Structure formats: C-alpha cells, structure tokens
Amino acid sequence: MKPKRILSMQDLSCVGQCSLTVALPILSHYGVETCVLPTAVLSNHTQFRSWSYLDLTEEIPAIFAHWQESGILFDGFLLGYLGKKSLMSLAEECFDRFGAPNSPVIIDPVFADEGKLYSGFDLEYVQAMAQLITRADIIDPNVTEACFLTSTPYDPNYDKIFVEELAHKLSRLTNATVVITGVEFDGKIGELIFDGKTEYVMLPKLPAKYHGTGDIFSSVMSAHYLGGKRLSECCLLAGQFVADCMRATPADHPYGVCFETRLKQGD
C-alpha cells in the first residue's frame, strides 16, 4: 500500500530537538512519507538565551507554485510552531490548494506553557491562532494554550471540571476534536480528548520536564492517526513514547529528549 503523505509545517531549529528535527524522523519511522514546509531557520529553539532567525515566509508562494505545477497533494497536515501571524493565511491556502480529499489537518498551536506566552508571542497571535484552528480536524493545545485560546485565566491548581470546561469552550470555537495535552492530576499526566464525549488517557507522571516533548507527542499521535488508529490509542502510544524518551534522557538536558534511543527500539 502506498504510504500516506503528510506535510509538516513548522520551523527548523538547527540545535535543540523540536519542531521539524523531531517531526521528520518520527513520522518517517512510522512509515509516513514526510514532506516539510520550513517556515523559518533558527540557530536553536527559543528556550535558549538567544537565537538567530531567518524568516522563510517570502519563499512559500514560490514553493506553492511549484507544488501546483507538479500536482502535489498531501493526505494530511501537521502544524506546530509557526511564530508569525502572516503564516496562518498561507497555512489555510496550503490546505485549500494541496489537501487530498479527507486529508486531516492537525494543529498543535505552540505558543505558551506553564501559564505564560513563549518569547515573541502576543495576544494578537493567539487571536489569529483561534481563527486558524477553525480549519483543524484535531487540535492538541496544552492547558496554558487552551486557556489563552478561550480567554480563560490560567489556574495552576486546575481540576477536572476546569479542563473539561476548557475543552467545551474550545469546541465552541472549532469543530475539531480537542486533545488537551499535559493534563495533570493525582501523580498522573496525559490528555483529555473531547469530541462530544470526554475521555482521559493518563500515564504515571515522570519527575522531569524537557523541551520539545509536545512536538514529539504530536508527531507520534499524527503518525498513528494517519495509520488509521483510534485517536485515544494514538494518544496513549504517543504518551508512552514520550515517557520512554524521557527515561532515556539525562537530567538538565536543554537539547530536547533523546528520542533516537526510543526509535532504535522499533515500534
């Protein structure tokens, strides 16, 4: 059977594994033909003290023109860190021009964590993202991003009622299935999935936090989803994958988790 072809649209950070340096190997590992639309090249991700940034937005119309000429279509889209509002209309154009019939759009909004916006993001960006997710089939924000998208003040001591209300509010913004990631209760961490009904996929919480694990989660989830698995199973497999990577990573490792060790182990 011909592999599914996905387009991953996000930045290329040269150092510090996240976004495309994570999506590309992981999606390929799971047998998905992975195409990329790099939106910017950074010397390293923005959790380092400083970084260079080459914006590739201006190149995108030319890339689209050649894809059009070659009749390229994608069976799915995975969006991560975009970083610039102007990329969102290009993303929508991309879905319209290059989406094969029934190609799912998976959007990880990537702009905040632990109650705060990442460096370089503002509320205008959040508003634009709230608009872009109306085009998604699946969104997987973390709790902070879900709060910003729904104009809900972040509460670090949230409970189940709070996150379920967030999921309801998000599903009033978009028809997408909502996956709120990094939900923590009672020593466990996982996802709340809401598509009209609520489901939790929880695993034991490990005592560490690393950069880029959200991107790994989205990549593994998307690979399994394109492979035809139910979304709750995709989330469970992605959560287990992230936990395995974390176990293989030394403490205080600012370069992302060692997912290569996990890939060597096979499925």
| Residue with smaller CB distance to ligand PXL, 36 or 73 | 36
Minimum distance from residue 214 beta carbon to ligand PXL (Å): 6
Question: Of 73, 182, 192, 85, nearest to 132 (Cα)?
Answer: 85
Q: How far is the CB of 55 from ligand PXL (least distance, A)?
A: 12
CB of 123 to ligand PXL, least distance (A): 18
Our CB check for ligand PXL shows the closer of 8 and 46 to be 46
Give least dist CB 45 to ligand PXL, A. Answer: 4
Of 202 and 257, which has the nearer Cβ to ligand PXL?
257
Q: Cα–Cα distance between 15 and 217 in angstroms, integer?
A: 19
What whole-number distance in Å separates Cα of residue 1 and Cα of residue 124?
43
Residue 43 or 198 having the CB closest to ligand PXL: 43
- Tokens standing for 91? 């993303």
CA-based Rg of the chain, rounded to a whole angstrom? Answer: 17
| Residues forming the site for ligand PXL (CB under 6 A) | 11, 13, 18-19, 42, 45-47, 81, 110, 118, 212, 214-215
C-alpha distances out from residue 99 to 5, 93, 132, 142, 168, Å: 10, 10, 16, 26, 28
Smallest distance from the beta carbon of 1 to ligand PXL, in angstroms?
32
Closer of 182 and 214 to ligand PXL (Cβ)? 214
* Residue number with the smallest Cβ distance to ligand PXL: 46
Three-class SS of residue 173? helix
Q: Smallest Cα–Cα separation from 7: which of 67, 85, 86?
A: 67
- What token pair was written down for 226? 């394109």
State the minimum distance, in angstroms, from the CB of residue 54 to ligand PXL.
Answer: 12
Q: Which residue has the tokens 């939106």?
A: 39
Q: Which is nearer to ligand PXL, 25 or 227 (CB)?
A: 25
3-state secondary structure of 78: strand
